Structures are given as C-alpha cells and as structure tokens.
Amino acid sequence: MNNTFQRVRFGPSSSMTPVVKYLIITNVGIFLLQHIIGLSMIRIFGLTPARLLYDFAIWQPFTYMFLHGQGSILHILINMFVLWMFGTEIEREWGSKAFLKYYLVCGVGAGFIQVFVNAVLFSGNMEIPVVGASGAIYGLILAYALMFPNRELTLLLFFVLPVSIKAKYFAMLFAAISLFSGLMQPGSNVAHFAHLGGMLVGLVYLKLDWRLSFISDYFAQRRETREIIQHAKRRQQQLQLRENVDAILDKINDVGFENLTDEEKELLRRASKDLKEEES
C-alpha cells in the first residue's frame, strides 16, 4: 500500500492492542496509587541521578517510566493518548512481544541518557527525580515515522483547528522542540533530553536490526571462522603425519623395524592411536 496519500485521523475508533491496553492500565493504576501513597513513591521509584549513581538504585531506570507528575493530570493524559494512537498500529505490525521490548528499551535508554546529561552538563539537577513514560513515547513516535514516513496525521491544534502533517515531519518537529527546549531551559521541570534519548535509543535499536542480533552474528561468524581454521590445521597435520608414516613404512620394508629410531617408533605409535580415535 502506498502510504503517501493515506491519512490517519486519531479518534476513539482506534481499538487497543493487548500490550498498549495493559500499559495504559498500569500507568493509570500507578498514577492513582501515587495520590494515595504520596510523594514517597516518586522519591523511591522516580529516576534520581544522584541516587542511581551514588546509592546504586538500579531499579529506577525501569520504574520511573510508570510514574507521572502528580501536580497535573495533563502529563499522563498526553502520554497515554500518544501511546494509544501510535502504539496500537506499531504493535499490530510487530507483534506484542517485540513492541513491549522496544517500548521498555526506549524508556530505560531515555532514562540513562537523561542521567548522563544531568551528570555531565547540568550537575545541579542531580537531586531532581525524573518521572514519566515520555522517553518511551518519543521512541514510539520515532518508530512510527520510520515505518510510515509519508503518512499524513490529522491532528486538532488547540483541540479545534485540524492540521495535517506527515509522520516524518511530526517526529522531526518534536525532536527539534525537545532539543531547543533542553538547551534553552536546562533547569526546566521537563526532562527534554529524556525525550530525545528515547528517540535516539529507538533509532539505534531499529537501525541495528532488532535485538542487536548483529552482535551475536558477529561472534557466531568469529567462532565459525576459528573452527574452520582449526579443522584445516588438523587436516594439514594429519596429511603430514601420513606422509611421515609412509616414509617410515618404506624404511621398514628396506631395513626392518628394529633399525628404526626411537623417534620413528614413537611416531608410528602416535599415528596408530590417532587412526583408532578417528575410527571410533
């Protein structure tokens, strides 16, 4: 199908796929739990760069993406809306397992990139926790743009004005906004570099041909090459051994076994042992 003239109108007619549905239920459920338990959930499970680097809170790069800011419901609403709109079609194309893996990889990778940026560029933000699924969501936007670059998305600007934009330009626009905002507002409460990180990790993941299989393929090829070389060396040694044995057998015919040197007799014994191992 030619995607150039295909338009997508986002709306309630888009049915949810299994992983998207469970991700939305999980995020909304945890958001409600945050309001019951309080800010302690963000302190424990939000991604705080200082805690990750110095206190080894290694669970935070995973758990932070299921938390959202409690000050406004808009944060989680937008994330879940985009997850629904882009995620459903991606999951249908890839399957649930591949989709979930990509979503989590983008989310975790985005968290690490935000920690790196905070630690290297903006050290003053080391104690500020990062929460939200935005890194994973931006990874979905990137994947959708790569899958359907010329597909036109019809959105409602300010919930009133319909605007159409191709998916590839939509992703570029959001990446540019995040980059500009991150550089111009380093102290912002929005983790702009986590957004960019989700896109970057998603791009690397997709361009490296899923599951980073090129790494296993590389080592498999190295292993196969070593086995071929070892087999060739063994074959060469066997041929050399046969040549030496033939020469010793000719000598036995000429002068008898008792006139062989100790080295020649040892070579015959070793050759006999090797031949028995080959036969077994």
The tens digit of pLDDT for each residue in 229-246 reads 887 777 777 777 777 777
Q: Is the pTM of this model over 0.85?
A: no
Tell me the angle at which helices 74-94 and 18-37 cross, rounded to the nearest 10 degrees.
160
The radius of gyration of the chain's CA atoms, rounded to the nearest angstrom, is 31
> For residue 130, what is the DSSP state?
B
What pLDDT, on a 0 to 100 scale, did the predictor assign at position 258? 76
Identify the three-state secondary structure at position 96: helix
Identify the segments of the chain with pLDDT beneath 50. Answer: 1-13
Q: Is 217 exposed, middle or buried (0-12, 13-18, 19+ CB in 10 A)?
A: exposed
Strand partners, 164: 154
Answer yes or no: are the C-beta atoms of 42 and 64 closer than 8 Å: no
- The label of the residue with tokens 């994947």 reads 143
Answer yes or no: are the C-beta atoms of 196 and 178 closer than 8 Å: yes
pLDDT tens figures, 153-178: 877 665 566 778 889 999 999 999 88
What percent of the chain shows pLDDT beyond 90?
38
What pLDDT, on a 0 to 100 scale, did the predictor assign at position 8? 46
